[in-house]
């Protein structure tokens, strides 16, 4: 029974550690889903090669968070394996229809239910926020909530190609604001970064532009090609944005 209880405690601590890591990464500017994936990947030591991993590795604060998660994950996995072995030895000795097996499965079901509870998630997030603010030097700002990224808004990067509608046009001519899309920054091919670019800034082939707006608006912009069809899509997007704004005012 001791081995089974130890196993449940270790799993609980693992969930808590990855949750703390997720919230810490969110506070550094990662989206909720990206932060969750990176935290779990680091804790389990499974490796990650997504686009967000470059942002994590290049940031000293995020790198420090993942280093701690990797260290705790190595210790946690070894302990978990030991507990699993002892748990199965205990179950084998007492039989598969014993108190031990009932406690094990009941505990696992309870942990799954708690991990999916939105109420528990909100309370736990609040406690972790306060702890991070009080006991760490991490700048506790939840950019995910600040930018309303859970309400169909997103921050996204687009690589500008030669045949794209965006290519060789100034921001003033593109009028992306009228579509409800904001250009936060542009990274040129030579590595130069332009933050909060103005209307006379020209989008060039090979640029990596950072956008903020509705998911569907950014996806439409990413797939838009040059020519009359692209201009028509832009006009339709502007009309849709006006309708959206009018609806928001009426509400």
Predicted confidence (pLDDT) per residue in 41-89, tens digit: 888 777 655 555 666 666 677 777 888 888 787 766 556 555 555 555 5
Per-residue pLDDT at 75? 67
State which residues of the chain have pLDDT below 50.
140
The DSSP bridge partners found for residue 213 are: 154
79: how many CB neighbours lie within 10 A of its CB?
16
Q: What is the pLDDT of residue 141?
A: 54
Neighbours of 206 (CB within 10 A): 13
CATH 3.30.70.1450 fits 152-250, yes or no: yes
Spatial distance between the Cα atoms of 176 and 171, rounded to a whole number of angstroms: 7
Report the pLDDT value the prediction gives residue 240, as an integer from 0 to 100. Answer: 92
Nearest to 102 by CA among 116, 114, 113, 90: 90
Half-sphere exposure of residue 81, counting CA atoms within 13 Å on the CB side? 6
Rounded Cα distance, 195 and 186, in Å:
7
Enumerate the domain spans of the chain.
2-135, 152-250
Measured at the alpha carbon of residue 14, what is the angle toward residues 72 and 107, in degrees to the nearest 5?
150
Residues in contact with 20: Cβ distance below 8 Å, sequence separation at least 6, in sequence order: 128, 132
Return the pLDDT at 135. 61
């Amino acid at each position: 029974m001791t081995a089974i209880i130890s196993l449940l405690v270790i799993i609980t601590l693992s969930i808590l550690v990855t949750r703390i890591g997720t919230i810490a990464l969110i506070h550094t500017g990662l989206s909720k889903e990206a932060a969750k994936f990176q935290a779990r990947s680091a804790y389990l030591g499974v490796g990650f090669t997504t686009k967000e991993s470059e942002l994590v590795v290049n940031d000293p604060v995020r790198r420090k968070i993942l280093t701690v998660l990797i260290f705790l994950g190595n210790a946690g996995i070894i302990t978990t394996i030991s507990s699993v072995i002892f748990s199965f030895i205990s179950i084998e000795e007492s039989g598969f229809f014993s108190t031990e097996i009932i406690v094990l499965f009941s505990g696992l079901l309870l942990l799954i239910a708690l991990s999916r509870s939105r109420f528990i998630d909100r309370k736990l997030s609040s406690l972790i926020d306060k702890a991070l603010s009080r006991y760490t030097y991490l700048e506790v700002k939840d950019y995910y909530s600040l930018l309303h990224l859970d309400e169909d808004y997103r921050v996204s990067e687009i690589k500008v190609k030669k045949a794209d509608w965006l290519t060789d046009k100034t921001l003033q001519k593109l009028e992306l604001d009228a579509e409800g899309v904001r250009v936060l920054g542009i990274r040129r091919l030579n590595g130069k970064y332009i933050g909060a670019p103005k209307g006379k800034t020209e989008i060039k082939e090979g640029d990596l532009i950072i956008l903020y707006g509705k998911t569907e608006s950014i996806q439409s912009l990413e797939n838009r090609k040059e020519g009359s069809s692209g201009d028509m899509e832009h006009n339709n997007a502007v009309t849709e944005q006006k309708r959206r704004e009018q609806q928001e005012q009426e509400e």
